[in-house]
Chain A
Amino acid sequence: MSPAIRVVEGGLFATVQDLGRVGHQGLGVPPSGALDPVSLRTANLVVGNPPGTAALEMCRLGCTLEVEADSVRVALAGARVSPPMLESMVLRRGDTLAIGRIAGGACYLAVEGGFDIAPVLGSLSTYTRAGFGGLHGGRLLAGDRLPLVRPAATPRRERRLPHPVPAGRDRPLRVLLGPQDDHFTEEAIDALLSADFTVTPHADRMGLRLSGPRLTHVGRPEIATDGLATGALQVPGSGHPIALLPDRHTSGGYPKICAVIAADLHRLGQSVPGTVLRFEAVAPEQARVALARLESAMAGMADLLSEA
């Protein structure tokens, strides 16, 4: 049989994701892709793949996997799990790997060489709501087989990272106000930038509903549909924001009070129900510097790799 990883237990919500589907938002197709792209890239770095290679994204409760190949090299990164993280390891035919509970939003399992799955619209990312991408358009279930590109691990030493990319866990998420901050009262903007917001159980790959002080609109709580972005905080009539994640719609009719900057999207993507979020407004120049710092930290990770 062709080399594969067999899913013994599907976990809570596991999908194949890469860095997203680019170029089809104009037709209403969301980008999808990893909730935490930094951890996806980290897992790929450790296992020796190009950074955007599709990996297994697991949320809250991970899969149990069995190797149906001579061997396969894997690496885990992202939210904490019990198996060793940030180090590559070779699993052999018949070995099982139980990921178990995930302490955070998403954990990534990268496999050396990647999965042998045909891209849909240029990406391996799974978009479950329309049922395409990934293995079969849906979340992984017991019995699924993830085909592997490589029949066996390449002979080389294992590698590890001493620590993940520093995430600044306790810092507020940095946002740019707008595009519709003028649709909210001054008190709403003050509350957005000073209060705690808690992620409610209404959280999936489309977005996170937040609870906190009510953000009051000036006038009607709707606008004529315009474009959406991952990280934008749209506020419906309830006054409680929804932070948009990669499976969001491409356009929508609720005013967006602010949007999380690119350098902090991976932190937003690691939120789970109960996570407390705070927001800090920054200027575009600060956002630019923050992203340059993140990219240079990512580039520095390659130098931190050590051989076991």
Chain B
Amino acid sequence: MPLPEPRLLPLGDAALTVEFGPAYTPEAAARARSLDRQLQGTEGIVERVATLRSLTIHYDPRRLSLRRLTALLRGLAPAAETEAEGARWMLPICYEGEYAPDLTDLAARLGMPPGEVVAIHAAGRYLAAMVGGYPGYPYLAGLDPRLAAPRRTTPRIAVPAGSLGVANEFTAIYPQTVPGGWNLIGRTPVPLFDPLREPPSLVATGDEVRFRPIPPAEFAALAEGFRAGADPVALCRA
């Protein structure tokens, strides 16, 4: 079956959104990532933002007209979808105590013991379907449907950096302390985003992420190590 044609939606005169569907599907997200890679290095394209269902292309209208960009997009063969196209990461997570403020609540809502929530979550193999919203914030697809639950009714004003959240079909880690409404079931000591690092975000769109449960003592030791300059890339590459 041929893939449906994407919609091309102008976002002003310096950006164009290529929409693969009205909502997240693994296929729409994969097509956005494929197109993202296909357009790498295209003259006149300034940067690209892949989301869970679309790719927004920021271009320089002085160098590339909308007509030429549209023709270029229509002329591209739909790229083959590839899984595990990116790097692989194993992130240490403490699923205990103060690091998991919503675990008991969530477990009660899901009707299972907290230990089972952790076991199911930590056994998962996740795909960074999108990075964005906040700098370095990865939306990880592949959450076990048994853990699907809506966001908290009252968002927190400040979610601590490193917090691991689950909401609906995703799990994610907050790289900075920001407001947020996801159910927090753990925390990583790994600094996911550092503007002085190149690349600044540990996890990029298309990467695979798995989790390794750690006790609070190891969290503290790792956090201390990162403060002293330990390299998260070397420590977390799977």
- B133 A130 Cβ-Cβ under 8 A: no
| B205 interface residue per 8 A CB criterion | yes
User: Which listed residue (A24, A256, A284) contacts B13, Cβ 8 A?
Assistant: A284
A284: chain B residues within 8 A (beta carbon): 10, 13, 66-67
Find the A residue at minimum CB distance from B53. Answer: A224
- B205 → chain A closest CB, angstroms: 7
Q: Does residue A29 face the partner (Cβ distance < 8 Å to B)?
A: yes
Q: When A27-B135, A28-B131, A224-B53 are in contact, do A132 and B195 touch as well, CB less than 8 Å? A: yes
Distance to closest chain A CB from B11 (angstroms):
5
Alpha-carbon separation in the docked complex, A179 to B55 (Å): 13
Q: A249-B133, A251-B132 are in contact. Are A23 and B14 (CB under 8 A)?
A: no
User: How does the 8 Å CB contact mask read for A109-134 relative to B, with 1 for contact and 0 for none?
Assistant: 00000000000110000000010110
* Residues in B26-74 with C-beta less than 8 Å from chain A: 36, 46-56, 58, 61-62, 65-67
Contacts of B13 in A (CB 8 A): 176, 259, 261-262, 284, 287-288, 291
Q: Which residues B1-20 have CB closer than 8 A to chain A?
A: 9-15, 17, 19
Query: Complex: how many Å from CA A238 to CA B201?
Result: 34
Q: Which residues of A contact B120 (CB under 8 A)?
A: none
Check B12–A176 contact: CB distance below 8 A. yes
Which A residues touch B193, using CB under 8 A? 27
Please, which residue of chain B has its CB at the minimum distance from the CB of A224? B23
Flag if B19 contacts A226 (CB, 8 Å).
yes
Asked if B196 and A120 sit within 8 Å, CB to CB, the answer is yes
CA distance A56 to B58 in the complex (A): 26
Check if A232 sits within 8 Å of B136, measured CB to CB. no
Q: Kindly supply a per-residue 1/0 record for chain A positions 247-258, scoring 1 wherever the CB is within 8 Å of any chain B CB and 0 otherwise.
A: 001111000100
Q: Which residues of A contact B176 (CB under 8 A)?
A: 130
Residue of B nearest to A26 (CB): B49
Interface string of A173-187 (1 = CB under 8 A from B): 001101110000000
Which A residues touch B132, using CB under 8 A? Answer: 25-28, 225, 249-251
- Interface size of A by CB at 8 A reads 42
Check if B14 sits within 8 Å of A262, measured CB to CB.
Answer: yes
Decide: B61 and A291 in contact? CB cutoff 8 A: yes
Instruction: Please give me the residue from chain A that is nearest to B65 by CB atom.
Output: A288
A307 within 8 A of B: no
Known: A25-B49, A26-B205, A224-B53. A229 touches B136 (CB 8 A): no
Q: Are A229 and B51 closer than 8 Å at their CB atoms?
A: no
A226 touches B54 (CB 8 A): yes
Q: Which of A120, A130, A226, A291 is within 8 Å of B17, CB to CB?
A: A226
Interface contact A227-B54, CB-CB below 8 Å:
yes
Interface residues of B in 123-137 (CB under 8 A from A): 130-137
Chain A's closest residue to B132 (CB) is A28
Please measure, in the bound complex, the distance between the C-alpha atom of A180 and the C-alpha atom of B7, giving whole angstroms.
11
Q: Are B195 and A227 in contact (CB under 8 A)?
A: no
Decide if A280 is an interface residue (CB 8 Å cutoff): no
Instruction: Kindly state the separation between the CA atoms of A29 and B197 in the bound complex, as whole angstroms.
Output: 13
CB distance from B110 to the nearest CB of A (A): 24
Structural contact, B10 and A26, CB atoms closer than 8 A: no
Q: CB within 8 A of A227: which of B11, B62, B134?
A: B11
Chain B residues with CB under 8 Å of A302's CB are none
Mark out the residues of chain B between 48 and 107 whose CB falls within 8 Å of any chain A CB in the assembled complex. 48-56, 58, 61-62, 65-67
Contacts of A232 in B (CB 8 A): 11-12
Write the chain B residue with the least CB distance to A20. Answer: B46
In the complex, what residues of A have CB within 8 A of residue B137's CB?
A: 28
Q: Is the CB of B11 within 8 A of A178?
A: yes
The closest CB in chain B to the CB of A233 belongs to: B12
B199 at the interface (CB under 8 A from A): yes
Kindly list the 7 A-B residue pairs having the minimum CB-CB distance in the complex, ordered from nearest: A227-B56, A259-B12, A179-B9, A287-B13, A28-B132, A27-B201, A132-B195
Q: List 14 A-B contacts (CB under 8 A).
A: A24-B47, A25-B47, A25-B49, A27-B199, A28-B137, A132-B195, A180-B9, A224-B23, A224-B52, A227-B11, A227-B51, A227-B56, A229-B12, A291-B61
Could you list 15 further interchain pairs (A-B, Cβ under 8 angstroms) beyond the known A121-B195, A226-B53? A24-B200, A28-B132, A120-B196, A130-B195, A179-B11, A224-B23, A224-B53, A225-B51, A225-B132, A226-B19, A226-B51, A226-B56, A284-B13, A284-B66, A288-B13
